[in-house]
Amino acid sequence: MKKLFSTKEVAIFLDINEKMVYSLISEKGLPATKITGKWLFPKHLVEQWIETNTINYPKPSISLPPYHGLLILAGSNDPLLDSAVSLFNSLHPDHIAVFGNLGSMGGIRALRQNLCHIASSHLLQENETEYNFDFATQELNRMPAVVNFCRREQGLLLQKDNPKQIKTIADLAKPGIRIVNRPLGTGTRLLFDRELCKVGVSGEKIEGYQREIQKHIDVGIEILSGRADAGPGIRPVASLLGLDFIPLRWERYDLLIHRERFFDRGVQLFVGILHEPAFADEARKFEGYDVSLSGKMVYPQESGESEK
């Protein structure tokens, strides 16, 4: 089990008064769980909370070189994005697109560090309506351009025919159920932890909660092989592998692009693919994708919305 701080220990860790800890829980979302009337703070979540809320980053010492045919994408993993990268490389043989699987937060941080042209992200905000804006604002000096890649259905992947009779996310805490998880910093993990919190289940009580898998398809393979009964993931993987699926919500999966690189030739070619019939054909190979908004500007909006 990962280390848990007491209230006193987390106050020492953050170098603040103990009374301030309670304010941070209620006002700033400091990760905490209450067990037998006492607050406990998972150390790894506290560290992630500090990093997520850091706003005064040093200016990057490097910048992407002028575009010369290599398009770098980084961030959240997705099977349709893998297909889009392959489609790009097939349609534009004078260019090369590569993808780094870093999770949504990792992609935004790579964008901040000028390590990629495009970051893929689906981080659900506290209002549970919008995606990515708050996280991008915290990480970057100004809002990037945001283009929708797709909408997709998030939920729980289950073994075919659901032999453990898992009906709700709360059932994952029952004895004898093993799960696999996604890493911290991924949008899927953020949603999963939020849904567990809603039903009052501590992840630490779920067998396999600490077992983190890097890709959606690999979560599905673990379940298909019988090494796990369930795991957070997307419906397209369930449809591809013939798994059962409990839906949680449709989400917006976006591409974030620095505005000064938005008109780079490779970026424009990649965004252009999202309007091609071949891209829609790839999406139809799976269940759980909606590409009706694919390629459309989410920010700035066409109405001339002012910069944040």
- Indicate the domain borders of the chain: 4-52, 70-153+251-299, 154-248
Exposure string for 262-289, b = 16+ CB within 10 A, e = fewer:
bebebbebbbebbeeeebeebbeebebb
* The predicted structure's pLDDT at residue 304: 43
Cα–Cα nearest to 270, from 120, 77, 170, 60: 120
Pairing of strands 289-290, 145-158: antiparallel
How many whole angstroms separate alpha carbon 118 and alpha carbon 154?
22
How many whole angstroms separate alpha carbon 202 and alpha carbon 193?
9
Of 284 and 29, the structure prediction assigns the larger pLDDT to 284
Q: Examine the pLDDT at 302 and tell me if it is beyond 60.
A: no
Q: Say which CATH class 70-153+251-299 falls into.
A: alpha beta
Determine whether 181 is exposed, middle or buried from the number of CB atoms within 10 Å of its CB (0-12, 13-18, 19+): buried
Write down the pTM of the prediction: 0.80
How many whole angstroms separate alpha carbon 222 and alpha carbon 299?
37
Q: Tell me: domain 154-248, CATH 3.40.50.2300, correct? A: no
Average pLDDT, the chain: 91
| 59 — pLDDT class (breaks 50, 70, 90) | low
Q: Do domains 70-153+251-299 and 154-248 have the same CATH topology?
A: yes
| 305 — pLDDT class (breaks 50, 70, 90) | very low
| 176 — pLDDT class (breaks 50, 70, 90) | very high
* The predicted structure's pLDDT at residue 54: 61
* The predicted structure's pLDDT at residue 308: 38
